[in-house]
Amino acid sequence: KANRTFHPENTVVTVGTQTIGGNQLAIIAGPCSVESREQIITIAQEVKSAGAGFLRGGAFKPRSSPYSFQGMQQEGLELLKQARAATGLPIVTEIMSVKQLEEHHEDIDVIQIGARNMQNFDLLKTAGQLNKPILLKRGLSATIEELLMSAEYILAGGNENVILCERGIRTFETYTRNTLDLSAVLAIKKLSHLPVIVDPSHAAGLWWMVEALSKAAVAVGADGVIIEVHQDPSNAKCDGQQSIKPERFARLMQSLREIARIE
Ligand code: PEP
Ligand code: MN
């Protein structure tokens, strides 16, 4: 079902007034994690005025260490809903388990399945039963074929609203957090009709690469980008080193507009 041979026309996922995979460039921006009401509302307003179409923010965080900040959980989700009410931006947030999905899917506009859960087949099957857009991130060391097969699990259940995300893969290189595989965007576009976006923040792990990599992503034909933005990156509870400030994000939006000729 993900294969372009049997479905030549591009899939366009609609979320309110926004589309992903059509002519519009989808811009998803916000902090790695929701940290407080003030933090998420301020960032939501800033990214909205810069031109973002979606607000991202983690409430349930998959952290490598059990001692790291795990996200504000349900309270974080409530704050995201308040930020949505304040700005009108649809919310993109990760869920990590079938239980969380069942409990919270109605509150979320785009449900993110993170890299670490790309092959959580129970989660994929449950997501396939919903009628909500699913943002499926490429696994840490997943091939393009494996990513497409994971998408297939969601599509096979009847949910056609799948968006794929290239977020960097593990290689021998350690300078960057991951290695951004922009050729994956081209390969996926050839193999599949599903929209593909790029996450330069988690790919590079370095804030100063985010702008150039975002431009590169749009130049190769990505349908959008998902970018971590924080008003005070050095004090962020998660991923501050890869987060850009709202002012820089606004400039980046300007450059993306020039490349993609969005309004
Ligand atoms: C995230 O988007 O905050 C995240 C944890 O991403 P990934 O699953 O790609 O590591
Ligand atoms: Mn993050």
Q: What percent of the chain is modeled with pLDDT above 90?
A: 97
Distance CA 28, CA 111 (A): 13
> Which candidate, 59, 155, 62, 69, places its Cα nearest to that of 116?
62
Domain with 220, as residue range(s), is 4-257
**Whether the predicted interface score ipTM is above 0.95:** yes
Q: Is 167 in the pocket of ligand 1 (CB under 6 A)?
A: yes
Q: Which of 54, 110, 137 to mutate to test the pocket of ligand 1 (most atoms within 8 A of CB)?
A: 137
Give pairs for 63-71: CB < 8 Å, separation 24+.
Answer: 63/238, 68/238, 69/33, 69/237, 69/238, 71/33, 71/34
Residue 146 lies in a domain: yes
What is the residue with the minimal CA distance to atom 1 of ligand 1? Answer: 32
- Ligand 1, residue 137: give the atom nearest the CA: 9
Q: What is the pLDDT of residue 68?
A: 95
For 213-242, what is the mean pLDDT?
97
45-62, pLDDT tens digit by residue? 999 999 999 999 999 999
153 C-alpha to ligand 1 centroid (Å): 20
- Number of domains comprising the chain: 1
For residue 239, the ligand closest to its alpha carbon is 2
Residue 263 lies in a domain: no
Average pLDDT over residues 211-234: 97
β-pairing verdict for 54-56 and 18-20: unpaired
pLDDT band with cut points at 50, 70 and 90 for residue 124 = very high
Whose C-alpha lies nearest to ligand 1, atom 4? 114
If phi > 0 it is left, if psi is from -120 to 50 it is alpha, else beta; for residue 260 that is alpha
CA dist 234 → 38, 107, 109 (Å): 17, 30, 29
- With a 6 A CB cut-off, is 139 part of the ligand 1 pocket? no
**260 pLDDT tier (thresholds 50, 70, 90):** confident
pLDDT tens, position by position, 76-98: 999 999 999 999 999 999 999 99
Does residue 183 lie within any of the structural domains?
Answer: yes
Q: For residue 106, tell me if it sits in a domain.
A: yes
Q: How far is the CA of 228 from the centre of ligand 2 (A)?
A: 7
Instruction: Kindly state if the Cβ of 230 falls inside 6 Å of ligand 1.
Output: no
Q: In CATH, what number is assigned to the domain containing residue 71?
A: 3.20.20.70
CB within 8 Å of 212: residues ≥ 6 apart: none
Residue 128: per-residue pLDDT: 98
Residue with the smallest CA separation from ligand 1 atom 10 is 115
Q: 189-228 b/e with 16+ CB inside 10 Å = b?
A: bebbbbbbbbbbbbbbbebebbbebbbbbbeeebbbbbbb
* Ligand 1 atom index nearest CA of 238: 3
Q: 180-208: per-residue pLDDT in tens?
A: 999 999 999 999 999 999 999 999 999 99
Is residue 236's pLDDT more than 60? yes
* pLDDT value of residue 258: 86
pLDDT digits (tens, 9 = 90+) for 95-117: 999 999 999 999 999 999 999 99
Residue 17 forms part of a structural domain: yes
Q: What is the pLDDT of residues 16-25, one digit of tens each?
A: 999 999 999 9
Q: Is residue 262 part of a domain?
A: no
Residue 263 has pLDDT above 50, yes or no: no
Is this prediction's pTM over 0.95?
A: yes
Q: Give the largest Cα separation in the chain, rounded.
A: 48
Residue 19 belongs to a domain: yes
